[in-house]
Each structure stands twice: as C-alpha cells, then as structure tokens.
Structure 1
Amino acid sequence: MIVNFAERAHNHNWELDPVVRSLLDTDFYKLLMLQFIWKHYPTTRVSFSLANRTSSVRLADMFAVEEVVGQLEHVRKLRFRKSELVWLAGNTFYGHRGIFEWKFLEWLEQDFKLSDYELSVTDGQFQLAFDGYWPETTMWEVYALSIISELKTRASMKKLSEFELDILYARTKTKLWGKIERLYGVPNLSVADFGTRRRHSFLWQEYVVKAMASNLGRGFIGTSNAFLAHKHDLEAIGTNAHEIPMVLAALANDDQALKTSQYHVLDLWQSTYEGALRVMLPDTFGTTQFLKGAPEWTADWTGQRMDSKNPYVAGDEYIEWLKERGRDPRDKLVIASDALDIDDIIGLHAYFGGALRAGASAQDFRQAADFQDSRKWTPGRRIRFSAGWGTLLTNDFRGCDPKGRIEFDPISLICKVSDVEGRPAVKLSDNYAKALGPASEIERYRRVFGTEGIANAGLVA
C-alpha cells in the first residue's frame, strides 16, 4: 500500500494517533535483553532518564506535555498480542528456534507491565524518567525515544500546507532512492535497518524498510524493529546493548569487581542463550582496554559491534586482536552502527570487504561500479562487514523542507540507565563526548578502566 504522507498529516482529525502501535514496536535486542533481565535480575531496581543532547532544540516549546502523556499512557495500556507471542515462540532467529523460553513468553502475556514515569519541563526540555524493577523500566527506552522523536515531527508538519508536505516527502523519497541506487549491485552487501528510536515516524520507517527490502534483495538483511520484522516477514536483527554492562558495573562492590563486570556480562549472556547471539559490544568502558583484558574465550565469539569509535580504527584493532589470539578474522564479523550514512557504508564495505589498490582510499568508493574497477579494489574480505543503518536511514529529511528550515533535521535523543539500586550508572564510551554519569563517577571509572583509545569526536544524531 502506498501511503499519502502529506494527506494523512494534513487531514489529521482523530483523537489520538498512536506513535507506538504494538509492544513489538521496539528494537529486537530489547526483547532479548528483557528475557535476560527477567531471568537473572527480576527485582533489581533500575532508573532510566531521557535527555536531548541537541539542547538548541527546545522540544517542550514545540509540543505540549499533554501530548507526551497521552502517548505514554497509550503504551502502558498495550499488551502483547497472541499472534506476536506465537511469532516469538515459533520463529527462527539467527538460525535458532526457541530462543525465547515458554515461561518468559507466558510472563509476557500475563504479567509484563511498564513502570510509572515522572514527566516535567525545565528550560524548554522534557525531563522524563522511569523508575522501578528492571523488567518494568527497560522497555521504556525505545518507546520513549520514538514517541518524542515523532511528536517533534508532527509539530513541525503542522507548519506546512498539504502542498508543502507533498514537496517535503517528494524530496525525501528522492533522497532515499539516491541512497538505495548507490547500494544496488554492491557485491556481498549486508545492511540492516537500525532506525527505530530516532525515526521520523512509524509510517516513514515502514516505508523505508519496504523500499530497502524490495530493491536491495539479499543485501538488505533485516530490521531491528521487531514489529516490522513480524509484519513483513523479515529477519529481526539485534543482540545486546550498553544497558546490561552499565547495570552490572553499578552493582559491583569494589574496583576489581567493576573491572571484571564487563566480562561477567558476556559469560552470563552466552550461558543464557546457549552459545547463540554472541556479538560483543566492547565500547561501554572503552574498546582498547576491553580487548587487552578480555578472556581467551571471547575470541570465539561471532564478532563485535563498533558503536562509538572510528569504525575503520575499531575494525583494524579487532582484526589484529583476533590474529594475536590465533583466530582467522575472515570468519568473524564487525557491525558498524554509529551515525552511519551512505558514504560511510560504501567506504567501510570496500575497506573490510576486499583489498584497496595502491593510491585508492575508502572514500573513492561511491557506487557499485567502483567495486568492478580492478585498479581500485580486489575482492577478498579481511573480515565480514555489516552496517546497522539508523537515524540517517529513517529520519534524513535534511535539506528537504520547502521553507528551507532545519526543524525536520534529526536530533540526538538518548534514554539511558541513570541509577541502579541507588547507585549512579556510568558509560565511558570510545568518545569523550558520549560519557554519561556524574562527573565524580566518570572520573572513578576512568581511573579503573583507563582512557587508552578514547578520543574526542562530535555528536551526530
């Protein structure tokens, strides 16, 4: 079905147009982590807080608190549908059937609930927090982010006429097609949609996912959005995130336990999923220190996601680490996921998927034809590469507003763990600008983990 986005936005006359239509409308890894949390930490109290890192955009001046409350209350009333639970129970994920235990699915159906929330406004920004048992708070992360992101979109659309909205979407569709066209025919392409949390809207994400699937074939490997994967018979993509190591680190009682908590997470994860879903996310407290101290068995994992370090540097670092441990990098996987756009995806694919010839650089690759030029590149992967394409896939309206404004540009919204059993939670990251937590705790964590390999880099949505 072709959606007339302009007409739908302009002729908006229903009482509540829900942003979140299903509890499955979240990143697939949230469900995998929810089962892990339900199994091991059901009574641990964890708080989450939402923050707008693009402080120049005063969100609370764009739309009212009442709109946010209406959307949050709608989500709290949702329940997992029978068909969704059947899909979770019977579908094959990453080649494994039965990843979700029947007792967990029974709990989802009968006992799952979302915590209460606290919402206020300070200096033009929403202060939104969730506190409760970890299984009740964890799922709020993506729901809250997608709600705030789409309410911003709707507020901006109210300023355009139906004709102007038509132009907005026509330009953005053309922009999307330009990106897809450049990917078409790239050898051994592996791209997934990671764009739920900061999407323009649910309907636009669905449109983008369907466009990618129908035009890129096997090169589009799936979506992180569990609802869209279920609805459109696509592969659900995702394993785990920073949340779990942040919580386990906060629970550590001394510096030694703090340092080893990052490996305890992986050990507990692989025992929970019986050796499946083994993709590391090593940058929570710094990738370089993580790899230097990692137990030997971590080299047997499938690969790693590169989230906050320059992906060229992170990939090379991982390849050398694997070689030092006697593993063949060609059998392993790296996933890039931080603020990717089309140039990054093609360049990284060239860099890791073959050999650059003398004088050529990753930035020389712009489209599929460049991979056929033997003067630039010869096939033969150094490591398997996959791209998790997020905000700049599902919310790239930059330069498309017919009035020339930047209101449709994506912003950097986050919703992260802030408190664990009364203790502050911290993330160091491979980027100094992305560190989270009280300054005194960040300083303590940096003393414990070190700062090797951490760099100063800008923030992109």
Structure 2
Amino acid sequence: MARLISILDNDFYKFTMQNAVIQLFPKVKAKYQFINRGKHKFPAGFAEILRAAIDSLATLALTKEEKSFFAENCPYIDAPYFDFLQGYRYDPDEVTITQNGGDLSVKIEGYWYRTILWEVPIMSLICELYYEVTGQKRVSDEEVVQIVESKMNKYDKLKITIADFGTRRRHSFEVHDLVIKTLCQHPSKTFIGTSNVFLAMRHATKTIGTHAHEWFMFHAAKYGYKMANLLGLEHWSDVYRGDLGIALSDTYTTEAFFKQFDKKLTKLFDGVRHDSGDAIEFAQKTIHHYASKGINPLSKTIVFSDGLDYQKVEKISSFCNGKIGYSFGIGTDFTNDVGLERMNIVLKMVETLPEDGEWTPVIKLSDEPLKHTGDPQEIEMAIRYLQLDEHA
C-alpha cells in the first residue's frame, strides 16, 4: 500500500511558508478540508485504508542527509528552522477522516505551523490509494518514459523553461520518481527543477516554489480582504528579504492583486505566478501593470501553473515571447499521464484562528469563478467588498 518514505516528499512552498509562519504567526490555528471537485466515488473501506497510511506518517523524521541538502540549497532559510524540522513529527490526531457511502471527508485542525505540512502528502496518498484500491492499471514504466520524452522533445523546440509541480495529484510516488528521473536525464536545459524537495535531492535538481493561496487567505482573515495581498507580500519580504520572489496573484483575483501590488512590491518581487483564469488575458494585464510602473516587463517573469499541457504552453509562449519573461510549472500532465482518469481534488484551508482573534472562515476567489472555494456567503461578501462586479 502507498506510503511516504520521506518527510521531504512535499512541495517546497509548504516548508517556506512553515518557516514564515513560525517566525511571524506561531500562535495561529487553522482548519483544512478535503474538496472532491471531480465527485469521485471512493470504495467501501477507503477511509480506513487512508487512516492507516496517514498514521504511518508519524514515523517520518528528517535525516541528517536531508537536513544538509535542504540547508545547503536554501541559504535564505535560517538554521533554526532546519533544527525545528529535524524535531518535527506528523501528528495524525490532527486529521479526522470519515466516509459515508462513496463520499470521503478529511478535516485537519491544529496550530498552523504544524498543520501546514498535511495538505500535499494527504492529497498524494488519496490519489495513489484510489488507483490501488480500485484496481486501475496504468501504462508500463517504458511508456511513462516515452510519454515524458515525447513531451520534452516538443517543449525543447519552444526554447522555454519548465518545472515539475505535480506532487499533489500524481498517480503515485513510483511514477513521480520515474518522471523526475527522466526529466533530469533529458539532454536539454528546458527542465529546471521540481517543487518536490525529496525528489530534488534524490535526482540532484533544483527546488522550485515560493508560497501558496493559504498565506494570503490567512492575511485576509486577520487584516481584511483589501489588505491581504499587500500585507501578505510585505510579510513575505520581511522574512526572505528579496529571495523567493515570485508572487502568487489570484487568491482574490488578479484585479484585486494588481490594485495592491504597489511600486515598491512590483520592483522588489521578481515576478508573479498565474494559477487560474485566461492566461493570455493575465499576461496582458501583467505587462500593462509593469509598464504603468515604469518597469520593463522583460526584466520580470510570469510563472504559469494552471492545468498546463503542450497546447496551452505553446499558445502562452507564443504570446509572451519578446514581451515579458515567462516560465512554466507543469503538474499532473507530467505526473499523472498514465492512461487513467486524473483526479480532480483539492484540500484547502477553510478557517483560521488569529492570535487574540476568533475562528474566521477563509475563502479563495479564483480568476475562474467555478474554482472559488469557501463559504458561499463569505464569497459573496468579499466580491462586494472588493467591488469585483464581473465575478458576482
């Protein structure tokens, strides 16, 4: 049965956010909830199987080799964090799992600095166990390699750079490991790294990532929607002082983001990440924003990461070429292209308890309205408050 073999088998931005939370918000609590967007039906007994896999994570611990790799490759993270991570253990009591027929419920609750690491491993376990328990057979290892090589040969011709962002909804660790091995052995400079820290160490490539939506969702709960992006980025720069400089733009829509992305932040951050909505429209808005601040768009980068495949990448790169810097983070099209239906699931923060505050619902307003997450009444209120008429 599926299980993780390393505490670093997680996305890099989970660790960078954890470090920042420890420094700035150590008393904050958080709740997370599994969202089954694809309405997948789970077989009887799945909750018990997932429970056993999650319980097994309590034995994971950062090894000396992993600690050395992480510290050497991330000099912008202070040494005390790696000592903390060496002593960190997953606490399965923070996770509640129930099943009603084919419907699965997963909820997480605890201090934010601890619970922040659960999302990615739980999602990857759900995917891998789902394929295992339902007896679905993937293509062979040889075919996986051929699929990856075929894609890379096409990407090479576009003269672009790409990274792997596919941990959360991968088919399995075995496939993910094989994909990264194949990407690293491919004879070009197109592939530049992976968001998965353990696989970056195993295959001697670069760790890629900065922060995720939950960073800004918390800031909205504590400081309000109109200040969430501004203070989220200010606090990020307080911790990382210019490193890890790709800003996530769509937690409360790109429209709201650029209103708060003032000249100081626009100059400080290396670029922005696109994760929902029309990519070309986003590129146009981003180019206009930089130009309006007197900044050459070619000195900045957009990292595109929204459900990419070759056709989307080709269209985006054709538009951006010569206008702005660009790169791509590709997820399940690398790690779950094995001849089976890909799972459409997420696990999101749903409430947070700021220090000296009260439990507050948190939401995400995507540039794609169908991908809004959170309490519907809170979503409507935020849309009105941010004056986002086109999303109503």
Does the TM-score normalized on the shorter chain lie above 0.5?
Answer: yes
**SS in structure 1 of the partner of residue 277 of structure 2:** coil
State the partner residue of 2:372: 435
Matched pairs, number: 385
Gaps of at least 5 residues in structure 2 are 354-358
> 1:444 is matched with which residue?
381
Match of 2:208 among 237, 242, 247: 237
In the other structure, the counterpart of 1:197 is: 168
One-letter amino acid of the structure 1 residue matched with residue 253 of structure 2: G
- The corresponding residue for 2:325 is 384
Please give the secondary structure, in 1, of the residue aligned with 2:158. Answer: coil
Offset at 1:420? Answer: 0.7
Secondary structure of the corresponding residue to residue 418 of structure 1: strand
Of the structure 1 ranges 110-119 and 437-446, higher mean CA displacement relative to structure 2 is found in 110-119
1:247 to 218, 230, 243: 218
Asked if structure 1 preserves the Cα contact closer than 8 Å seen for 2:216 and 2:232, the reply is yes
Equivalent residue, structure 1, for 2:6 = 22
Aligned to 2:35, what secondary structure does the other structure show? strand
- Match 2:38 to one of 54, 62, 66: 54
- Equivalent residue, structure 2, for 1:122: 100
Pair 1:215-2:186 in alignment: yes
Distance between the aligned counterparts of 2:43 and 2:32, measured in 1?
19
Change (3 A) 1:177 1:74: same
Residues 29-428 of structure 1 mapped to structure 2, 5 A cutoff: 29-55=13-39, 57-61=40-44, 64-91=46-73, 93=74, 98-114=75-91, 116-156=94-134, 158=135, 169=141, 171-187=143-159, 189-252=160-223, 257-300=224-267, 301-353=269-321, 381-397=322-338, 400=339, 408-421=340-353, 422-428=359-365
Q: CA RMSD in A?
A: 1.8
Partner of 1:8: none
The offset of 1:159, in angstroms, is 5.4
> What is the CA-CA distance between 1:239 and the residue it aligns to?
0.5
Using structure 2 for the length normalisation, give the TM-score.
0.93
SS state of the match for residue 188, structure 2?
A: helix
Task: Compute the displacement of 1:107 (Å).
Answer: 1.3
The separation in 1 between residues aligned to 2:155 and 2:258, in whole angstroms, is: 32
Aligned mates of 2:58, 2:95 — CA distance in 1:
10
Post-superposition offset of 1:431: 1.0
Alpha-carbon distance between aligned partners in 1 of 2:320 and 2:389, rounded to the nearest angstrom = 24
CA distance in 2, matches of 1:72, 1:430: 33
Gaps in structure 1 of 5+ consecutive residues: 1-16, 354-380, 401-407, 456-461
Q: Rate the CA distance shift 1:289–1:64 in 2: closer, same or farther, 3 A.
A: closer
Partners of 2:390 and 2:381 lie apart in 1 by 17
Residue identity opposite 2:175 in structure 1: W
Q: Deviations over 1:200-226 (max 9, x none)?
A: 111111111121222252110101110
Match of 1:405 in 2: none
In the alignment, the residues of structure 2 paired with residue 295 and residue 263 of structure 1 have an alpha-carbon distance, to the nearest angstrom, of 8
CA distance, structure 2, for counterparts of residue 309 and residue 282 of structure 1: 11
* Alignment-mate amino acid for residue 348 of structure 2: K
Identity rate of aligned residues, in percent?
28
Query: Where does residue 369 of structure 1 map in the other structure?
Result: none
Write the deviation string for residues 22-46 of structure 1: whole angstroms up to 9, x where unpaired: 1100111111001001111111110
CA contact (8 A) 2:43 2:133 kept: no
Q: Structure 2: which amino acid aligns with 1:146?
A: S
Look up the SS of the partner of 1:59 in the other structure. Answer: coil
What is the alpha-carbon distance in structure 2 between the residues aligned to residue 289 and residue 100 of structure 1? 30
Aligned partner of 2:356 in structure 1 is none
User: Partners of 1:452 and 1:218 in 2: how far apart?
Assistant: 43
Task: Measure the CA separation in 1 of the matches of 2:78 and 2:4.
Answer: 25
Report the residue type matching 1:49 in the other structure: Q
**Separation in structure 1 between the aligned mates of residue 380 and residue 136 of structure 2, nearest angstrom:** 45
Give the counterpart letter for 1:291 in structure 2: F
**Displacement of 1:333:** 0.1
